[in-house]
A and B are shown apart, each in its own frame.
Chain A
Amino acid sequence: MRLINRYPGPVGRVALAALPFVLVGLVYAQASAARLAENPQDRILPSFATLGGTAWRLLTEEDRRSGEILFWGDTLSSLSLLAAGVGIAALLGLVLGVAIGLIPLIRSSLQGFVAVVSMIPPLAVLPILFITLGVGDTAKIALIAIGITPFLIRDLTARTLELPQEQVVKAQTLGASTLGIALSVALPQILPRLISAIRLSLGPAWLFLIAAEAVASDSGLGYRVFLVRRFLAMDVILTYVAWITLLAFLIDWGLARLSRWLFPWAEARG
Chain B
Amino acid sequence: MKKLKFTDLLVTIMIGVVFGVLMKFWDDLYTVVKPIMPVARQLLYGMWFMVGPFAFLLLRKPGTAFIASLAGASLSAFAGHGIEVLMYGFAQGLAAELLFAAFRYRRYSILIAGLAGIASCLASFGLDLIYGYAALETWALIVKYGLRTISAFIFTGIFAVFIVRALEATGVTSLIRPVDKKEYTLLDQ
Q: Do A and B come from one complex?
A: no
